[in-house]
Structure 1
Amino acid sequence: MKSSITADILERSSFDEIIDVRTPAEYAEDHIPGAINCPVLSNEERVIVGTMYKQASPFDAKKVGAALIAKKIASYIETEFKDKSKNWNPLIYCWRGGKRSGSMTHILRQIGWNAQILDGGYKSYRKEVVTKLNTLPQQFNYMVITGQTGSAKSRVLEKLNQLGAQVLDLEQLAIHKGSVLGNIPNIPQPSQKMFETKLIQALEKFDANKIVFVEAESRKIGSLHVPDVLLETMRKSPCIKIEASIEARVEFLISDYDYFIQDPQHLISTIDYLKDLHSKETLARWKSLAQEGQWPTLVSELLEQHYDALYRRSQNSNYVNYETATSFNTADLSAKGIDILAKQILMGPHHV
């Protein structure tokens, strides 16, 4: 039976603040949206205490852990919580709703604050996310934007969003451009769990009576997996197709991947990802073109010899409505051209 000082995950919105007392590493991997991180053990301290618990003495580990946790809680009372009013009621959680959150909750309640522990801790939140991933994606009607690499699909989504349409931008959530060369330098992708948290946040904002525009994706975006139920629903959904000229696509990609031009060496090393698909001679040529800054030639060859064939096979086999998709033709993928394209899409036969 749930005690009077614990709260269910569904009650979290009724609290003034949600406090995640797990380590910074645990918090960075994923956390309840809106929660602040007040770790009672550092990353290193948790390893030390955990190792002592398993390999030496659970009793000694608890003593060491309790001393460290007490010091941290004291510091938060003197800083983070110093100006909180008497009526402040925070919800506190750790991994399972155990000793870390229990310790902070006990001390805060002794002061007079109505602190409560999240029943089940982070694991209860994660269970909720997994449940929603299996049900929520099916509640919406999607319009899948397809088109060969360099067709500015992500920029079209961005413009559709600005024009008031409902947009699910999976690549933005994944911090990746989707292709094998799509990693963004110096900006790591989120963890799989954080990606799924952000995905649920995005879906929960949508109106089920309106279309959700989404870009056609493969099963993986960089290192992250698109949840199965969402992907299966997308693949059965109606499609539209952006048909852009090769010249427009080359010009767009050179602009959109400008960081490769700033750092050709990064692109040269990334080209090696294609070693299982192309000959050593082809890869050597592409690296040479990058080294020499011959960007239009390089991008044209990458599109014609690599991306286009892969894309056609992928869309035909995965998106059942790809062949019957309404096409939108363009030779202009400048900002103005993308604006025109997005407005044409909004006024298409699917418009609701």
Structure 2
Amino acid sequence: MHDFSAYNLIIDARSPREYGEDHIPGAVNMPVVNNDEYAEVGTLHRTDKMGAYSIGVRYSLANIARHLREDLPQYPKNAKVLVYCFRGGKRSKLWVDALETIGYDVQKLPGGWKAYRRWVNDQLEVAPTKFNYHVLSGPTGCGKTRLLYALREAGCQVVDLEAIARHRGSIIGALPGTPQPSQKYFDTLLLQELAQCDPARPLFVEAESKKIGNVQLPTSMLDSMRKSKTIRVHADMQQRVELWRQDYKHFEEDPEGMLERLRFIRSLVGGAEFEEWEQLAAARRMPELFERLMTHHYDPAYRRSILREYPNIDESPLIELNDLSPAGLLQVAKKIREQYEP
């Protein structure tokens, strides 16, 4: 696969819908046909192949002309350009022909996005296995994610899987107004993140289940994490409730919305327990509701899950977080670095 960093401009010639599902990091979407045009050409292609190509070329020339007028002037004339479409076929050729005619140094990605996607899949079977993970475990709200960022600030090597997934990992972990990436683009982003890490150094991550919201971690990464060092993280309930009040402020303002997301676990916790949650929500007794959610559902569920994934977790070193402020966590992170990466 190409060294994508060698190019000043990578043009994704596919439709915006295709680009939105997945694309090479840093690629700019300059479609030769938009979503509606792409659908129109595809529909006509079933009955009139030549007519479909005729319409497609007309749309493409008009769109390329617009991109040349509006988008290309942003890049230097000596820019090295890479172009790709779905399979490296007609849409790429139209772009390459136009740019070569003008005088740009341009190349077409052999096999297009489909070849790139195969390469990503192949890489994700191998790349995650090269690292020596240090896995932070601990129940929800104990400050694992904040500790990860403190570790990064302290100079440790960190990958925040939930940030890549744009999800906090639990039933109520969706981020308001922030859609998750597609599975394919999550794979792309994860591989990009791992490519920037040094396998010779420890890599700190959070313990995660197979799925983070709607996306899945590669099996190779989960297997490698399960065989790695684990570190238990603990914070007292008062701090955990306060952290939830910060991270789930949108649910503090809309507790009914939170319970609606939790409704499908009613049979797991029992009707009486769920009614207790509803009463606390109706009374807007949010600290009590958050604590009860943790003690009566999240903590036991996490305990069962972590023992399945890491049966020897109780033998791991324990880190007590007494101060979840950035300054307090940075002190802890510096000590961790001294211990694990002298």
Both structures adopt the same fold (TM-score exceeding 0.5): yes
Q: Provide the secondary structure at the position in 2 that maps to 1:67.
A: helix
Q: Provide the secondary structure at the position in 1 that maps to 2:10.
A: strand
C-alpha distance in 2 between matches for 1:335 and 1:110: 55
CA contact (8 A) 2:153 2:330 kept: no
- How many residue pairs end up in the alignment? 342
Question: Residue in 2 aligned with 1:121?
Answer: 112
The answer to whether residue 318 in structure 2 is matched with residue 322 in structure 1 is no
The answer to whether residue 82 in structure 2 is matched with residue 91 in structure 1 is yes
Name the aligned partner's letter for residue 223 of structure 2. Answer: E
CA contact (8 A) 1:90 1:116 kept: yes
Question: Residue in 1 aligned with 2:154?
Answer: 163
The answer to whether residue 174 in structure 2 is matched with residue 183 in structure 1 is yes
Question: Residue in 1 aligned with 2:39?
Answer: 47
C-alpha distance in 2 between matches for 1:289 and 1:300: 11
Q: Provide the secondary structure at the position in 1 that maps to 2:119.
A: helix
C-alpha distance in 1 between matches for 2:243 and 2:6: 47
How far off its partner does 1:164 sit?
0.9
Q: Structure 2: any 5+ residue segments left out of the alignment?
A: none
Change (3 A) 1:65 1:259: same
C-alpha distance in 1 between matches for 2:336 and 2:78: 51
C-alpha distance in 2 between matches for 1:230 and 1:17: 31
Change (3 A) 1:66 1:250: same
The answer to whether residue 341 in structure 2 is matched with residue 351 in structure 1 is yes
Equivalence map 1:274-293=2 (5 Å): 274-293=265-284
How far off its partner does 1:83 sit?
6.3
The answer to whether residue 11 in structure 2 is matched with residue 22 in structure 1 is no
Q: Provide the secondary structure at the position in 2 that maps to 1:275.
A: helix
Aligned mate of 1:340, from 321, 331, 338: 331
Question: Residue in 2 aligned with 1:232?
Answer: 223
CA contact (8 A) 1:140 1:211 kept: yes
The answer to whether residue 266 in structure 2 is matched with residue 248 in structure 1 is no
How far off its partner does 1:123 sit?
1.1
C-alpha distance in 2 between matches for 1:321 and 1:268: 33
Name the aligned partner's letter for residue 291 of structure 1. Answer: A
Q: Structure 1: any 5+ residue segments left out of the alignment?
A: 1-8
Change (3 A) 1:329 1:85: closer
TM-score, normalised to structure 1, is 0.92
C-alpha distance in 2 between matches for 1:44 and 1:275: 43
Question: Residue in 1 aligned with 2:260?
Answer: 269
C-alpha distance in 2 between matches for 1:43 and 1:260: 36
Aligned-residue identity in percent: 39
C-alpha distance in 1 between matches for 2:229 and 2:262: 34
Equivalence map 1:36-75=2 (5 Å): 36-54=28-46, 56-75=47-66
The answer to whether residue 26 in structure 2 is matched with residue 34 in structure 1 is yes
How far off its partner does 1:336 sit?
4.0
Q: CA RMSD in A?
A: 1.8
Higher helix share: 2
TM-score, normalised to structure 2, is 0.94
CA contact (8 A) 1:252 1:334 kept: no
C-alpha distance in 1 between matches for 2:219 and 2:328: 34
Aligned mate of 1:223, from 214, 229, 232: 214
Deviation sequence 1:263-286 (CA, Å, 0-9, x none):
334313222242342223322331
C-alpha distance in 1 between matches for 2:304 and 2:319: 20
Name the aligned partner's letter for residue 282 of structure 2. Answer: Q
C-alpha distance in 2 between matches for 1:177 and 1:100: 38
Question: Post-superposition, which runs of at least 4 consecutive aligned residues in structure 1 deviate over 6 A?
Answer: none
Name the aligned partner's letter for residue 47 of structure 1. Answer: A
Question: Residue in 2 aligned with 1:6?
Answer: none
Question: Residue in 2 aligned with 1:193?
Answer: 184
CA contact (8 A) 2:124 2:218 kept: yes
Deviation sequence 1:109-154 (CA, Å, 0-9, x none):
1222232211100112111111110111111111000111111100
